[in-house]
Amino acid sequence: MMLIFTSGLFVREVIAQSPVPVTDVGAGIQREFQWTQEKGILTKINWYNVLIKALNGDIKGLTGEILGIDRKMLESLEKVSALIKDYKRVEETRDILGNVVDIYTQKLPLLIQDENFSPQQAAAIVESFDMILDDSRKLVTTVLNTILQDNLFMMDDKQRYDTINEIYHSVKQHYGTISYLYNKLLYASYMKSHQSGNLEAFALYYSLYR
């Protein structure tokens, strides 16, 4: 909740400030640096991909060292993930995780290079998304531990469904935070374009005509 509140303050600040054209060489270099930094945080997305694999019944390439669990727990994870991979809620969870990855790989790069934001604002955008991304490891650990509650397949159908539902809502809440921040920032850019009478360029940049 605190993170969302902080993000909201940042968005209001962005809207309140007048557009800063990025035309000088120094500003261009700074924006390029922010883009490089943004690409650097994409490595953390691996945690989302780890979770997608675990929920897909396929943990090939994953090790206990990567996941922070011992070999016995890794074997249990493989068995349980294979058991639950076809549950509808698990499919929905995988879809949400795919949407999270899409924001970071497809949509965030556009925000960073959007000239409606100054280089300083672009830096704040990177930092905000990076803060959320830091929670991805915690999210994955929580979900994997939840899956492993069914270690010995002793859960009945209701218990297993409740566990899967818990995973779904945890992932959905995480995605909601990311979507909230992205949509608010997109709206801030829209408002700047609206104020400058340049909505067509905004729509073209974000491919809204497709």
Report yes or no: 48 and 136 within 8 Å, Cβ to Cβ: yes
- Tokens for 207? 């491919």
Which of 188, 199, 197 is closest to 16 using CA atoms?
188
- pLDDT tens per residue, range 19-32: 443 344 344 445 45
- pLDDT tens per residue, range 41-59: 555 556 677 777 777 766 6
Report yes or no: 181 and 128 within 8 Å, Cβ to Cβ: yes
Report yes or no: 129 and 178 within 8 Å, Cβ to Cβ: yes
- Which residue type is seen at 164? I
What is the rounded distance in angstroms from the CA atom of residue 63 to the CA atom of residue 77?
11
Residue 63 pLDDT grade (very low, low, confident, very high; cuts 50, 70, 90) = low
What is the rounded distance in angstroms from the CA atom of residue 139 to the CA atom of residue 118?
32
CA 37 to chain centre: 16
- Tokens for 150? 């069914």
Report percent pLDDT > 70 for the chain: 65
Q: How much is the pTM? A: 0.69
The full length of the chain comes to 210
Give pLDDT, residue 5.
Answer: 33
Give the residue ranges of DSSP H helices in the chain: 2-16, 25-41, 46-54, 64-67, 71-84, 88-102, 108-113, 119-133, 135-147, 157-195, 199-205
The SS3 of residue 133 is helix
Report yes or no: 40 and 33 within 8 Å, Cβ to Cβ: no
Give the residue with greater pLDDT, 55 vs 164: 164
Nearest 5°: phi and psi at 62? -90, 145
- pLDDT tens per residue, range 84-107: 778 888 889 889 988 988 998 889
